[in-house]
């Protein structure tokens, strides 16, 4: 006779993928009961085991393609997996993930599964516990270095950059893991302003740290508009432990990317309606995304006020069929949507993008599952990366990584001769 299955671990796995309300709906109970089971305030009954097993089976994404002949990577500050998607498309396989935000973890696990170590707070992870990997990926928090983030912190009298102890110092967790695991390569992503922050001192420290670990650095600011209809400039820092022939010249950027119409809901019945984003036989966009009269009046008055003062603060109105690109999507988009408003015709109030349109604007595929609220979805996509940019960079890194693997196997690894960008 087999031992009964403990339902609590199954419940905990399900909660990584689902909100309390979603899980309560599936188990035909309520949020309060789920909370009590989770926290040991009442016993999770064995009778829910079959339902939990079915939930985990149905929600587990299909296995990624076999990449045993490719390379492995660790995904730090993973967010919802934008960098991971790009490197998987280049033949990589993820062996370790770290992301502290609970909502982002739910989206990540829903889309990628949890078949490898997944840690939350990277500052509490012993580097020795990180599996060996060929490439380290890290989109470390950009708020301490971004123009908007620095302006806000200055206004509030708060430290920014490396002086921001909650986020700015997380770069040094990347340093200690690279030092301990010695991956063959790494890719770090951040805002363009990283280069100029603190009059260049922040980037100087980053360079000195990484080069001090024995890596050759290559960095480049890339605008996502080459791949998606969004002006989004980000710095990518690539490092190799050994000498390679890596060069940014191999990155062939498309001369002109798609226009804004390519990511919008067509509202003509050519796509299936998706939960509350669109509805009806034509999959028309929900009225909830149209700005209220009060908000639209406020944004216009705010823009007029700043225009009169001689600065450029204001909303960003995009006209499909005329404008090709949007402004940069940010994590604050959920507040009023002012940076990207879609023109709906003369005399009509504009609308926000739906979360699905935000996903497309960042290069995520249409089958990427969005399981969180609109507020959380806007934050997640605003904090993510342009997947197509990550894929393009991964594809010029991959041959060099595989070459280093071959050289290591054959015992012909050569010492790095110089550290130069």
Q: Which residues are catalytic?
A: 142
Of 370, 368, 271, 382, which Cα lies nearest the Cα of 329?
382
Please tell me the total number of residues recorded for the chain in this structure.
Answer: 421
Tell me the two tokens of residue 270. 């050519």
**What is the layout of strands, in order, in the sheet containing 135-138?**
118-119, 92-98, 71-76, 135-138, 185-191, 233-240, 216-223
Phi, psi of 190 (to 5 degrees): -160, 180
Q: For residues 183 and 165, what is the distance between their CA atoms, to the nearest angstrom?
A: 26
Cα angle value 384/251/256 (rounded, 5°): 75
> Which residue bears the tokens 């499909």?
320
Q: For residues 108 and 114, what is the distance between their CA atoms, to the nearest angstrom?
A: 9
Contacts (Cβ under 8 Å, ≥6 apart) of 229: 257, 258, 259, 260, 262, 263, 324, 325, 326, 361
Beta pairing partners, 98: 119
Q: Cβ(292)–Cβ(351) under 8 Å?
A: no
Q: For residues 362 and 95, what is the distance between their CA atoms, to the nearest angstrom?
A: 24
Cα angle value 194/202/245 (rounded, 5°): 70
> Which residue bears the tokens 């050289």?
407
DSSP-H helix ranges across 49-197: 49-59, 82-89, 102-112, 147-156, 171-181
Cα angle value 227/372/350 (rounded, 5°): 60
State the sign of the Cα–Cα–Cα–Cα dihedral 66, 69, 75, 79.
negative
């Amino acid at each position: 006779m087999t031992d009964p299955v403990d339902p609590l671990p199954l419940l905990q796995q399900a909660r990584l993928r689902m909100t309390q309300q979603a899980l309560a709906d599936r188990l035909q109970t309520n949020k309060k009961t789920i909370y009590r089971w989770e926290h040991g305030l009442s016993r999770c009954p064995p009778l829910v085991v079959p339902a939990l097993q079915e939930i985990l089976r149905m929600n587990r994404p299909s296995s990624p393609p076999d990449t045993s002949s490719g390379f492995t990577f660790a995904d730090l500050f993973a967010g919802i997996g934008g960098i991971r998607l790009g490197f998987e498309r280049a033949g990589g396989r993820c062996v370790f993930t770290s992301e502290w935000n609970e909502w982002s973890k739910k989206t990540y696990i829903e889309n990628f599964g949890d078949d490898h170590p997944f840690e939350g707070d990277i500052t509490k992870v012993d580097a020795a516990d990180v599996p060996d990997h060929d490439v380290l990926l890290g989109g470390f928090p950009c708020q301490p270095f971004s123009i908007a983030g620095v302006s806000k912190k200055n206004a509030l009298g708060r430290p920014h950059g490396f002086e921001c102890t909650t986020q700015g110092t997380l770069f040094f967790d990347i340093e200690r893991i690279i030092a301990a695991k010695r991956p063959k390569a790494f890719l770090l992503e951040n805002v363009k302003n990283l280069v100029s922050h603190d009059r260049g001192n922040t980037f100087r420290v980053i360079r000195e740290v990484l080069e001090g670990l024995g890596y050759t650095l290559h960095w480049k600011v890339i605008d996502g508009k080459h791949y998606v209809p969004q002006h989004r400039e980000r710095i990518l820092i690539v490092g190799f432990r050994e000498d390679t022939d890596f060069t940014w010249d191999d990155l062939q950027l498309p001369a002109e990317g798609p226009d804004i119409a390519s990511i919008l809901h067509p509202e003509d019945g050519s796509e299936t309606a998706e939960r509350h984003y669109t509805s009806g036989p034509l999959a028309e966009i929900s009225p909830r995304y149209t700005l209220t009269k009060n908000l639209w009046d406020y944004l216009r008055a705010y823009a007029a006020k700043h225009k009169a003062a001689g600065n450029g603060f204001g909303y960003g109105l995009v006209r499909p069929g005329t404008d090709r690109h949007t402004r940069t999507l940010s994590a604050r988009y959920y507040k009023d949507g002012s940076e990207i408003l879609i023109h709906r015709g003369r005399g009509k109030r504009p609308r926000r993008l739906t979360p699905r349109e935000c996903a497309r604007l960042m290069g995520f595929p249409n089958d990427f599952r969005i399981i969180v609220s609109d507020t959380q979805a806007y934050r997640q996509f605003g904090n993510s990366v342009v997947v197509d940019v990550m894929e393009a960079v991964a594809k010029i890194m991959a041959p060099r990584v595989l070459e280093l693997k071959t050289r290591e196997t054959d015992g012909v690894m050569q010492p790095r001769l110089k550290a130069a960008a």
